[in-house]
Amino acid sequence: MCQLYAETLFGRLLVAAVACLSALLASTAYAAAPGITGPTFYLTAKTANLNQPDGAAVYAWGYGCDSAHTPGGFNPPASLMPGANCPTMQVPGPTLIVTEGQTVTVNLTNNLPAAVGNTSILFPGFQLTSTCPAGQQGLLTCEAPPGGSVTYTFTASSPGTRAYYSGTQGDLQVEMGLYGAIIVLPASIPTACTTGYAAKNLSAEAAHHESDFRLSKSAYDHPKTCYDREYLFQFAEMDPNIHNQALAQVTALAGCTAGTPACSLEVPTEPYHPAYFLINGRSMPDDMDANFAPEYPHQPYNGNPHMHPGEQTLIRVIGQGRWQHPFHEHANHVRILGRDGNLILTPPDSTGATQLAGMLMFTTDTTPGQAFDGIFYYTGRGLNWDMYGHNPGSADPLALLTCTPDANGYNTGDPTAVNYFEWCQDHNKPLQVAPFGDVASGGPATLPDPNILTNGAWYSGSPYLGPDATSRATGPTGVFQPSNIQANPSNERGFAFMWHSHNEREITTNNVFPGGMLMMMLIDSREFVIDESN
C-alpha cells in the first residue's frame, strides 16, 4: 500500500501518488550491496557514457576492473547473484569489500585520454604505506600518468563504510565520475548477532526460502550493530555542461602527446548547474531496475530496498558529489551507527559496557565526501490497527492467526508465522467501519472504494500486508481489487514508502519531475520472498 504523505514541499498527494506509480518499474528488481572482494584489487580509469531516464547518454570517467586481472571474488557470491560482473568502467566505481585487519593493495592503471592527464585515488581514513615512483607524487597522493600505473597499500584498520575518489583535480575528476565505496567488514562477530532476535529473523527468512545476502552479521565489532539486511547508496549529481565540455576538448586533443603544454584540459567547473541527481549512478526510475541490468552497462548498482517488518536494515550511505543532499527515509527515523568507520558510542559505564550514541535522524545528511552507517527499522507499531487484516470471527484460518507478545510486545515465538514480529497490541484491531471483505469491522475509518480511488502501482487495495489480507479485505470475488493489480509481482502486496531528497529540485531529471534522487522502500509481508539476486 502506498503511504500518501501530505508534504507541502513536494506538492502533497501528487508527489506520493506519482512516486508510487514509479514503483511499477521495480516489479522484479531488488537492491543489495554487491561488490568485489580483496584484499588485492586491479582497477582502471576509463571513459564511457552513462544512460539517463531522459534518453541522454552523458560522457563520463569512471573506475572499473582491469581486464587483465580477474577480481578476487564477488560478494554476494556468484551462487547468489549470478549476473554479477565488474566492467572496465562503471559509476560508481567497484565497491571494494575487505575485512578488518587486512592489508589492502589497490593497483590503478590510467586508461583515460592523454589530454586528461594524471589520475589517482584517495582513501580517506586509511594510512597509506605505499611509495610513489619517481615523478608521480601529486599534490595529495601518488598519481598514475596516462597509460601508467600506481599502487596503493593500506591496512583496513576499522570496520564501516567509506568513500574513495580521485585526488587529482578533484573538482573535475570526481564530477566526471571517479568515485566509489569501500566496505570494511568486522573481523569478529559479536555473539548477540547470532542469538535472540538476530537468530530468529534469520530463521524467519529461511522458513520462507530466502537467501542471506548480507556481507556480514554486524556492521561493527559491537553487539548493538547486528543487522538482517543491507543496502549501499552513493549520492551524487552531474552538470552536463561540464561533461560536454570535457568531451569536446578530449575530442579536439585526440592524439596529443601526454604531458605537453598543448595536451591538457581547461574545463571550467563553475558556475555549477547540475541537472542529474544520482543514486548509485542512476536516476529514478532507472535506480529501481535490476542490479547489473544490461541497459546500464556502466551503472551496475541499483537503489531499490526491500524488507520485512521487524528486520534491522543497515543502510550504508555516501555523499559523493559536491552538494549536500538532505535525504528523507519515510516510515521511520534512521539510527546513525557511525560515520566514516567511526562508531559513535557512549563512554564506558562502570562495567566497561558502551551503548550506541548516534542520532535518530528524520532526514539524513549526505555531506560531500562523508559516509555513514545507519539502521532503519519498521514494525507497524503505533498504527493502531491490525495491518495483517486479522478477524477473530472469520472462517479463514489465516485470519485467525494468534499474536503472543514477547517481553517487548512483538509476536516472535514462531519465526515461520506469516505475522512474525506483529505488534500484538494492535492484533485484531479493526481499521474500517464497513470493510468490503472478511476483515474485522467497526473501526474508526471509512476507506475510499478502490473502484473509485487507487493510488498508483503498489497500492494493494487495502491497508493490510499480504495477498491473503488483501483478498479478505476486498471480497472473495475480487470485484473490488484495483485495476492495476497486475502491476505488482506475484503475491506481493507490500507497503511502499518514498525515500527521496528533501531538496525539491533533486527529485527531477533534467528539471522534469519525477526523477533524480528518489526510490521506494518496499515493506513486504513474510510470505513474499525478497530475492535480492537482481
pLDDT of residue 12: 35
List CB contacts of 196: < 8 A, sequence separation 6 or more: none
Strand partners, 143: none
Please say whether the beta carbons of 244 and 197 come within 8 A: no
Whether 349 shows a pLDDT value over 50: the answer reads yes
Delineate the domains of the chain, giving CATH numbers in brackets. 35-187 (2.60.40.420)
| Farthest-apart Cα atoms in the chain, separation | 84
List CB contacts of 8: < 8 A, sequence separation 6 or more: none
Reported as a pLDDT band with limits 50, 70 and 90, residue 30 is low
- Average pLDDT along the chain: 88
Q: Please write the tens of the pLDDT for every residue from 190-224.
A: 999 999 989 999 999 999 999 999 999 999 999 99
List CB contacts of 244: < 8 A, sequence separation 6 or more: 59
354 three-class SS: coil
Whether 23 shows a pLDDT value over 60: the answer reads no
User: HEC string of 503-515?
Assistant: CHHHHCECCECCC
Quick one: which of 258, 298, 261, 306 has its CA closest to 282? 298
Reported as a pLDDT band with limits 50, 70 and 90, residue 397 is confident
The Cβ-side half-sphere exposure at 150, using a 13 Å CA radius, reads 28
Q: Which of 62-66, 269-273, 457-461 has the lowest mean pLDDT?
A: 457-461
Sheet holding 325-329, edge to edge: 306-307, 518-523, 495-501, 325-329, 363-366
Please say whether the beta carbons of 222 and 345 come within 8 A: yes
Q: Please write the tens of the pLDDT for every residue from 228-239.
A: 999 999 999 999
The Cβ-side half-sphere exposure at 269, using a 13 Å CA radius, reads 12
Write the burial class of residue 480 (CB in 10 Å: 0-12 exposed, 13-18 middle, 19+ buried): middle
d(CA 444, CA 176): 54
Quick one: which of 223, 201, 224, 196 has its CA closest to 214? 201
pLDDT of residue 532: 85
Q: 38 φ, ψ to 5°?
A: -105, -150
Please say whether the beta carbons of 330 and 5 come within 8 A: yes
Average pLDDT of the segment spanning 473-490: 55
Strands, DSSP E only, in 111-228?
A: 149-155, 160-165, 179-185
Q: Please write the tens of the pLDDT for every residue from 123-181.
A: 999 999 888 888 799 999 999 999 999 999 999 999 999 999 999 999 999 999 999 99
Reported as a pLDDT band with limits 50, 70 and 90, residue 447 is confident
> How far is C-alpha 79 from the chain's CA centre?
21
Please say whether the beta carbons of 520 and 497 come within 8 A: yes
pTM for this predicted structure: 0.91
- 482 is written with which cell numbers? 484495483
Average pLDDT of the segment spanning 388-413: 92
- 70 is written with which cell numbers? 580477474
Quick one: which of 264, 269, 260 has its CA closest to 249? 264
d(CA 3, CA 463): 9
Quick one: which of 472, 460, 462 has its CA closest to 398? 472
Reported as a pLDDT band with limits 50, 70 and 90, residue 492 is low
List CB contacts of 121: < 8 A, sequence separation 6 or more: 43, 63, 106, 108, 141, 152, 164, 165, 166, 167, 178
Reported as a pLDDT band with limits 50, 70 and 90, residue 249 is very high
DSSP annotation of 366 reads: E
List CB contacts of 13: < 8 A, sequence separation 6 or more: 4, 6, 455
Reported as a pLDDT band with limits 50, 70 and 90, residue 335 is very high
The Cβ-side half-sphere exposure at 172, using a 13 Å CA radius, reads 19
Q: Which amino acid is at 346?
A: T
SS3 of the chain: helix, strand, coil, percent, to 5 = 15, 25, 60
- Cell 580477474 -> residue: 70
Please say whether the beta carbons of 312 and 214 come within 8 A: no
